[in-house]
């Protein structure tokens, strides 16, 4: 997927009884049991019970679907992916590759008889496997030092292309002293860094080298490297129609290190290794997909005007790179993925007003909506839009979807027949149907300037009409991203503990058009603050929110706004700023996105206009803060580095404002909620902080026993 901006989203998965007798007891009271057993609210231990469907891959003939089932392993405290096969006609499913290890990235051969996937078992890097569906034979094709990525079958099924990191020679300066005695233990050699982006969130410090394109015979044998050189990582592979070349996304320009948003689509000849650029404009181009007849290449990208947000458009060009044109120039939503269905139609996925949709786009520019309500089956700590789909040769769609009470299941829909389709799995129903899950509803909000703002209100299970409860304003990150009507473990845990949760898409959010997203360009934090306060006022007017018990939290961009809010108002009893930016100047030089922020989010680097950075920094308002504020960050966060959170914590300590610093050990920015125990413990810490400052402490619940 082409990046539309540097996002702080966690590509990741981020307690307990209800207060008082006025709420329905069956949600939390283990002593109250009916014929169906105890009816409890969502609790921390439930994070280990959740399963979700992701990456559905429908066979070319549309008769079978392989999907990745994401399950939590209570022993390793990690989400473990496995592969499952579903018969579309009957709905029968069976495990395909579900033994020890992680199994993911399934891809069908063009004849539908074999499946390539990546698997890790035991020690060593994940390897490329091929499974023969008729016989069940499973062969590891590779013995690689690094994990393969971006699998792509050749049209005739004889070869598989993949991308893999190739180590390079790191820079050296000087030599260690001579004369080291045999058996002596000396310090590790110096680390020498000479690249502008030297670490990446989730990956740590970047090793020398880059990802390149490889091919391997689908029946086994030694792989062959096709691309070489010291360039940006290469990926998003697609074979040409005749099988003689492979298209990939990369950046082979001289200034690639400092122009991370300026990727192109390249063509490498399989026989000779010759590389040709098919695109050349300034801006990200990538994710190529070749039409079945091989005549056209569809791809995603945009002209980079150095703004914090641009809609990603769907383009098409001839196979030789000529005839480029946008198919969605007049469509005011960003495209996330495109798949050919025939030679004149593409199915695409995009977000529209907080709802993920699948649409149809013709080469003549025609557009129509096929499906709505796609949701995600992993990384569900917060209610971000998301979800996956794939399409058979005749247009049958496999996709992931569900409501707000559980992660996504697998669904299938016939093209052109409308409706939501047919659900094929029920991964959580046997236990979650017996839970009192928190209901979620839309809340009408109007901003001070008259703009409508989408907002959702999550209420505690069993809430009685007219009853007021404490309210948590929970703010999304990005900030150019979007929440929707999707499942969230954080929201369910907060609501089960007796809080209402308000989440919104203030201006700057995606899925409402470029103009709405750009309202905070060079002005963030800014007027989005007013949208958030209007949403809180609406929740109070709705009758649910107790105006004397208001709390605020958010992660990444939401952490920025949380720190900004407590510097501008004292209406909240307590706050929890998660993985924030506190000083735009220090952040712009320490984040892994440093090459982008200084010219896409500001006009000039910090040393040329320091006061512009300072005026938008929450640190500039810290002298106003009176709100007890918890600060939360992953110890390996390289997107909004730990030093940002530490600055806020130290400033509040110096001022004598109640504060505490919570570090999530080993967690990156995107992975702060990736391990179920840490996700639950982080939510519990925030609830404990808020409970400390509630004025209705008599109704603060005691911990509830975990399982049923």
pLDDT tens track for 485-542: 999 999 999 999 999 999 999 999 999 999 999 999 999 999 999 999 999 999 999 9
Domain boundary among 427, 456, 482: 427
Task: Indicate which CATH number applies to the domain containing 528.
Answer: 3.40.50.1820
What number is the average pLDDT over the span 556-581?
98
Domain range spanning residue 309? 51-172+189-427
What number is the average pLDDT over the span 69-89?
96
Residues 275, 257 share a domain: yes
The whole-number pLDDT of residue 121 equals 84
| CA–CA dist 666, 669 (Å, integer) | 10
What number is the average pLDDT over the span 390-395?
95
pLDDT in tens, 8-17: 333 332 222 2
Residues 540, 626 share a domain: yes
Cα dihedral angle (692, 694, 699, 705), rounded to 10 degrees?
A: -40
Total number of domains in the chain:
2
Which residues, at least 6 apart from 694, have a Cβ–Cβ distance to it below 8 Å?
Answer: 470, 549, 573, 700
The verdict on whether omega for the bond into residue 474 sits within 30 degrees of 0, i.e. cis, is no
Q: Are 285 and 301 in contact (CB under 8 A)?
A: yes
Residues 513, 570 share a domain: yes
What number is the average pLDDT over the span 659-670?
97
Domain assignment of residue 535, yes or no: yes
Q: 602 in helix, strand or coil?
A: coil
pLDDT in tens, 617-641: 999 999 999 999 999 999 999 999 9
User: Please, which pLDDT band fits residue 704 given cuts at 50, 70 and 90?
Assistant: very low
| CA–CA dist 107, 282 (Å, integer) | 32
Rg (Cα) of the chain, in Å, rounded?
26
Residues 576, 688 share a domain: yes
Task: Indicate which CATH number applies to the domain containing 107.
Answer: 2.120.10.30
% of the chain with per-residue pLDDT over 90: 88
Domain assignment of residue 13, yes or no: no
Domain boundary among 427, 447, 463: 427
Cα dihedral angle (117, 121, 127, 133), rounded to 10 degrees?
A: -30
Residue 5 has pLDDT above 80, yes or no: no
The whole-number pLDDT of residue 256 equals 86
Residue 37 has pLDDT above 80, yes or no: no
User: Please, which pLDDT band fits residue 697 given cuts at 50, 70 and 90?
Assistant: confident
The span from the first CA to the last CA of the chain, in angstroms, equals 41
What number is the average pLDDT over the span 539-557?
98
User: Please, which pLDDT band fits residue 430 given cuts at 50, 70 and 90?
Assistant: very high
Residue 66 has pLDDT above 70, yes or no: yes
User: Please, which pLDDT band fits residue 566 given cuts at 50, 70 and 90?
Assistant: very high
Give the DSSP H/E element, type plus range, for residue 451. none
Q: Are 15 and 676 in contact (CB under 8 A)?
A: no
Q: Are 590 and 604 in contact (CB under 8 A)?
A: no
User: Please, which pLDDT band fits residue 7 given cuts at 50, 70 and 90?
Assistant: very low
Domain boundary among 427, 456, 491: 427
């Amino acid at each position: 997927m082409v990046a539309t901006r540097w996002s702080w989203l966690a590509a990741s998965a981020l307690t307990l009884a209800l207060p008082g007798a006025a709420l329905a007891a069956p949600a939390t009271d283990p002593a109250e049991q009916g014929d169906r057993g105890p009816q409890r609210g969502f609790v921390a231990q439930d994070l280990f019970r959740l399963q979700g469907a992701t990456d559905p891959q429908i066979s070319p003939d549309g008769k079978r679907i392989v999907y990745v089932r994401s399950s939590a392993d209570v022993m390793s405290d990690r989400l473990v992916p496995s592969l499952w096969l579903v018969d579309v006609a009957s709905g029968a499913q069976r495990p395909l590759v579900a033994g020890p290890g992680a199994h993911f990235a399934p891809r069908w051969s063009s004849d539908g008889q074999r499946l390539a996937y990546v698997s890790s078992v035991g020690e060593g890097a994940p390897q490329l496997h091929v499974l023969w569906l008729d016989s069940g034979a499973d062969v590891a094709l590779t013995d690689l030092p690094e994990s393969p990525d971006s699998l792509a079958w050749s049209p005739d099924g004889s070869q598989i292309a993949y991308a893999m990191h190739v180590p390079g020679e790191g820079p050296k300066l000087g030599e260690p002293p001579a004369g080291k005695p045999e058996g002596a233990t000396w310090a590790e050699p110096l680390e020498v860094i000479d690249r502008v982006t030297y670490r990446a969130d989730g990956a740590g410090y970047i090793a020398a080298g880059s990802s390149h394109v490889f091919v391997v015979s689908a029946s086994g044998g030694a792989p062959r490297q096709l691309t070489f050189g010291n360039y940006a990582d290469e990926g998003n592979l697609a074979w040409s129609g005749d099988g003689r070349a492979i298209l990939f996304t990369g950046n082979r320009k001289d200034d690639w290190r400092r122009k991370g948003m300026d990727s192109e689509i390249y063509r490498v000849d399989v026989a000779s290794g010759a590389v040709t650029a098919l695109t050349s404009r300034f801006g990200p181009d990538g994710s190529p997909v070749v039409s079945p007849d091989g005549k056209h290449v569809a791809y995603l990208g945009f002209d980079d005007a150095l703004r914090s947000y641009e809609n990603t458009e769907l383009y098409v060009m001839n196979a030789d790179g000529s005839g480029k044109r946008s198919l969605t120039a007049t469509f005011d939503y960003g495209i996330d993925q495109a798949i050919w269905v025939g030679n004149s139609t593409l199915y695409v996925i995009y977000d529209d007003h907080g709802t993920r949709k699948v649409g149809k786009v013709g080469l003549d520019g025609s557009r129509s909506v096929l499906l709505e309500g796609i949701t995600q089956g992993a990384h569900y700590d917060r209610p971000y839009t998301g979800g996956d789909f794939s399409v058979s040769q005749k247009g049958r769609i496999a996709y992931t979807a569900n409501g707000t009470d559980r992660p996504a299941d697998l669904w299938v829909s016939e093209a052109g027949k409308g409706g939501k389709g047919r659900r094929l799995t029920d991964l959580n129903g046997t236990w979650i149907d017996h839970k009192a899950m928190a209901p979620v509803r839309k809340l009408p909000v109007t901003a001070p300037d008259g703009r409508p703002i989408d907002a959702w209100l999550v209420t505690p299970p069993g809430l009685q009409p007219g009853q007021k409860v404490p309210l948590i304003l929970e703010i999304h990150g990005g900030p150019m991203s979007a929440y929707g009507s999707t499942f969230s473990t954080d929201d369910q845990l907060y609501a089960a503990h007796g809080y209402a949760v308000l989440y919104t898409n203030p201006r700057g959010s995606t899925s409402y058009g470029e103009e709405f997203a750009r309202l905070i360009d060079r002005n963030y934090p800014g007027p989005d603050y007013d949208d958030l306060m209007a949403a809180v006022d609406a929740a109070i007017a709705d009758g649910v929110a107790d105006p004397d018990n208001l709390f605020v939290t958010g992660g990444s961009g939401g952490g920025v706004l949380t720190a900004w809010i407590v510097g501008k108002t004292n209406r909240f009893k307590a706050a929890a700023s998660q993985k924030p930016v506190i000083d735009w100047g220090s952040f712009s030089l320490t984040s892994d996105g440093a090459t982008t922020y200084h010219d896409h989010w500001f006009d000039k680097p910090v040393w040329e206009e320091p006061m512009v950075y300072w005026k938008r920094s929450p640190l500039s308002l810290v002298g106003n803060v009176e709100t007890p504020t918890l600060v939360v960050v992953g110890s390996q966060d390289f997107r909004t580095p730990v030093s940002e959170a530490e600055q806020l914590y130290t400033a509040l300590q110096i001022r004598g404002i109640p504060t505490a610093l919570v570090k999530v050990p080993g967690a990156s920015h995107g992975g702060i909620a990736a391990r179920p125990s840490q996700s639950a413990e982080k939510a519990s810490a925030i609830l404990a902080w808020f409970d400390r400052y509630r004025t209705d402490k008599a109704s603060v619940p005691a911990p509830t026993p975990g399982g049923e």
